[in-house]
Amino acid sequence: MKFSVAALSATVAALASGAAAQLSILAPGGPDLWWIAESDNVVTWTCKTSPYTNFTVLIANSDPKVLVAPQAFISQQNNFDCSKLITKDQVNMSPATGYTIQLANPFNETDVYAESQPFEIKALGAAYPASSATPTATGSATGSAAGSASATGASASTTSASGSSGSNGASGLSAPGTLAAAAVAAFGLMFA
């Protein structure tokens, strides 16, 4: 049986998108999960399905008048922690909308592994989101060399472990062994 280069490319792309979807930011993000200015806040991610052992944590904003470029506030965060309390001294941004949290390669911050949905930082004194709206860092992912991949995650009305709401691209993929094995298998079938 022979496969074309297009079939090989489709298989590798499917594997890449499935593997990249394994890391998502669960909170903050979206209209129901905001932060409070000059207060302690929490960031939560899908640690059980992440292929990364650690990453840099950054805050960004889509409006350059609010924040010109993403700003790192944790240089190396261990993935296994699943969430992190962010003190008011670590991130002290002005109230605004359009903020995102990014998890990036510690050696190249432009290599973003995962990005949250846009969220708001509300003024000091605002109420925190309801605890029922805050997802937990649980989830699982499965995939196969045939290119099908699925992921399940927190059951909340925010970004799920599937990464469908985030901008998790294959550029931050850190599972080269899995992809390489699948690519070699598919490539071998091409010439069989």
pLDDT at 65 over 90: yes
Take residue 161 and report the two structure tokens written for it: 């472990």
Q: In the chain, pLDDT over 90 holds for what percent of residues?
A: 56
- For the chain, the maximum distance between any two Cα atoms, rounded to a whole number of angstroms, is 66
Task: List pLDDT tens digits, range 7-40.
Answer: 444 444 444 444 445 899 999 999 999 999 999 9
Q: Where are the domains of the chain?
A: 5-190
Give the whole-angstrom CA distance, residue 126 versus residue 170.
Answer: 37
- Torsion-angle region of residue 90: left (phi > 0), alpha (psi -120 to 50) or beta? alpha
pLDDT at 136: 63
Residue count (the chain): 192
Between 151 and 46, the higher pLDDT residue: 46
> What mean pLDDT is predicted for residues 161-171?
37
Which CATH number is 5-190 given?
A: 2.60.40.2840
> What mean pLDDT is predicted for residues 125-153?
58
Radius of gyration of the chain from Cα atoms?
Answer: 18
Q: How confident is the model at residue 137 (pLDDT cuts 50, 70, 90)?
A: low
pLDDT at 126 over 60: yes
